[in-house]
Structure 1
Amino acid sequence: MDVVPAKDTAGCAARFAPERPGGAMIAAHVAQAGVGRFRVDRLDAPQVVLAELPGNAALRGDPACLPPDALDGCAGFVAAPAEFLPVLRAADPGVAAWDRLVFELPADVGVPGSDAVLLGAADAPAIAAFEADGAWIHETWGSPAALAASGLARGVFVDGRLVSIAATFYLGTRYEELGVVTDSAHRRRGHSSAAAAALIADIRARGRVPVWSTSPDNASSLAVAHRLGFRPSGTGVLYALRVPIPVSS
Structure 2
Amino acid sequence: MIELSRTEGVRDWFRPEVPGPLIGPHVLRTGHGRILVDDPADPGTVLVETGGGNYDLSGDPAGLGHALLPHGFYRTDEDFAPLLAERSGPVYRWPRVIYELDRAPCPVPTVAAELRTLTPADVPALAGLSPELQWITETWGGHAAAAASGLAVGAFTGGRLVSVAVPFYLGERYEDLGVVTENGHRGRGLSAACASRVAEGVLSRGRRPSWSTSPDNRGSRRVAAKLGFRFVREDQLYVTGAPPPPGA
Structure 1 counterpart of 2:71: 75
Residues 159-190 of structure 1 show CA distances to partners (whole Å, capped at 9, x for unaligned) of 11101000110000110111000011111011
Structure 1 counterpart of 2:55: 57
User: How far apart, CA to CA, are the structure 2 residues paired with 1:151 and 1:242?
Assistant: 34
Structure 2 counterpart of 1:30: 27
Structure 1 counterpart of 2:153: 154
Q: Higher mean Cα deviation, 167-176 or 115-124?
A: 115-124
User: How far apart, CA to CA, are the structure 2 residues paired with 1:121 and 1:142?
Assistant: 14
Structure 2 counterpart of 1:198: 197
User: How far apart, CA to CA, are the structure 2 residues paired with 1:36 and 1:85?
Assistant: 23
Displacement after TM superposition at 1:108 (Å): 5.8
- Partner amino acid, structure 2, of 1:143: G
> Paired residues, what number?
244
What TM-score results when the alignment is normalised by the length of structure 1?
Answer: 0.94
User: How far apart, CA to CA, are the structure 2 residues paired with 1:159 and 1:51?
Assistant: 40
Structure 1 counterpart of 2:41: 44
CA contact (8 A) 1:121 1:148 kept: yes
- Partner amino acid, structure 1, of 2:137: H
Among the aligned pairs, what percent are the same residue? Answer: 44
CA contact (8 A) 2:68 2:88 kept: no
Q: Higher mean Cα deviation, 40-49 or 106-115?
A: 106-115
**DSSP 3-state at the match of 2:14:** coil
Displacement after TM superposition at 1:152 (Å): 1.3
Displacement after TM superposition at 1:93 (Å): 3.7
Match of 2:10 among 6, 12, 32: 12
User: How far apart, CA to CA, are the structure 1 residues paired with 2:74 and 2:197?
Assistant: 29
- Partner amino acid, structure 2, of 1:22: G
CA RMSD, Structure 1 to Structure 2 (Å): 1.5
Residues 51-75 of structure 1 show CA distances to partners (whole Å, capped at 9, x for unaligned) of 101210001110111122241xx12
Structure 2 counterpart of 1:219: 218
Structure 1 counterpart of 2:3: 3
User: How far apart, CA to CA, are the structure 2 residues paired with 1:11 and 1:111?
Assistant: 42
User: How far apart, CA to CA, are the structure 1 residues paired with 2:182 and 2:56?
Assistant: 30
Structure 2 counterpart of 1:94: 90
**Unaligned segments of structure 2, at least 5 residues:** none
Displacement after TM superposition at 1:90 (Å): 1.2
CA contact (8 A) 2:105 2:200 kept: no
What TM-score results when the alignment is normalised by the length of structure 2?
Answer: 0.94
Displacement after TM superposition at 1:248 (Å): 1.8
